[in-house]
Amino acid sequence: MNSSDKSLLIEERIDLLYKRLLQCDLCPRNCKVNRLRGEKGYCAMAEDLVVYTAFLHSGEEPGISGGRGSGTIFFSGCNLKCAYCQNYKFSHNLQGRTISIEGLAKIMLNLQKEGAQNINLVTPTHFLPQILKSIALGLKQGLKMPIVYNTSGYEKKEIIAQLEDIVDIYLTDMRYISAALAQKYSNASNYPLFCQEAILEMYRQVKEPIWDKEKLKKGLIVRQLVLPGHLKESKAIISWISENLPRALASIMFQYQPYFKANLYPEINHPLNHAEYAQIREFIEELGLEGWLQDFRPQETLAGSYFTPEDLAKYL
């Protein structure tokens, strides 16, 4: 689909999504607050776009970052808010800068100008109507990059369906398969149900990965962050991916650190040990999944708590 057709498609869907902000139900929280009048629900955001930072990110999966980096935009607020969140500065503590629709389009275009491989929207769901409006504007001004929807996975199938032929790459977490753990660490016992339904819809849209040499142009990447002491959970998630998404790309992550409020839970108040890493690695190799297996304890400075808001000014 060319840029003009995609822009028209977005404009057809924007009104419906904006109307949902009147009694916001963009995500499974179903807060029903009127964000267009300044009311705030679980994500703690009203109508105005709030962005923490933007930069060429070299720490994503190789197919996303490529040689020049992914044009990554980190939005403030979050509809999931995990206790161990590495992005707590802007997801929980709401640090960030208010940006106009036009300003966001300018950020995307400037990231493209700097050589970004794609436009990577991190935690976008609570701002989806506004973001789509910015993308439509950007397309009219020459935006040509693949759009990456980088999400926690706490999504509604019906909302993801609105992104068909607009989003090129879904980069989604699958954090839990157990309702009890989802409730304990993310206050979202219904996460497994909604996440699985949403991921299956993503897979329906972009089942077959499309590559340009080593750059991913279209497809689905499912991330699994391995939590210490919860290998059974990780194995169950990885098995679900293998059984239900045979052509998707899996990304198994070992970067967990006890950020934010992880100290409230002794069982996860420490990094993974090497024995846990080795066990998951062996399990992955037996299944033969396509994708990426992160190194044991990768570079910690790639975590969101180390990102700085100063980078944003460069693209405004």
Q: What are phi and psi of 244, to 5 degrees?
A: -105, -20
Query: Going residue by residue through the chain (316 aa), what tens digit of pLDDT does each one get?
Result: 788 889 999 999 999 999 999 999 999 999 999 999 999 999 999 999 999 999 999 999 999 999 899 999 999 999 999 999 999 999 999 999 999 999 999 999 999 999 999 999 999 999 999 999 999 999 999 999 999 999 999 999 999 999 999 999 999 999 999 999 999 999 999 999 999 999 999 999 999 999 999 999 999 999 999 999 999 999 999 999 999 999 999 999 999 999 999 999 999 999 999 999 999 999 999 998 999 999 887 666 666 678 889 999 999 9
Label residue 310 left, alpha or beta by phi (over 0 means left) and psi (-120 to 50 means alpha). alpha
What predicted TM-score, i.e. pTM, was given to this entire model?
A: 0.97
Provide the residue ranges of all domains of the chain, joining segments of one domain with +.
48-315
Distance CA 72, CA 116 (A): 9
- In the chain, the amino acid numbered 152 is S
> Are 175 and 152 a contacting pair, CB within 8 Å?
yes
Share of the chain above pLDDT 90, in %: 93
CATH architecture for residues 48-315: Alpha-Beta Barrel (3.20)
- In the chain, the amino acid numbered 60 is E
Which two tokens mark 262? 């992880």
> Are 241 and 289 a contacting pair, CB within 8 Å?
yes
> Are 203 and 209 a contacting pair, CB within 8 Å?
no
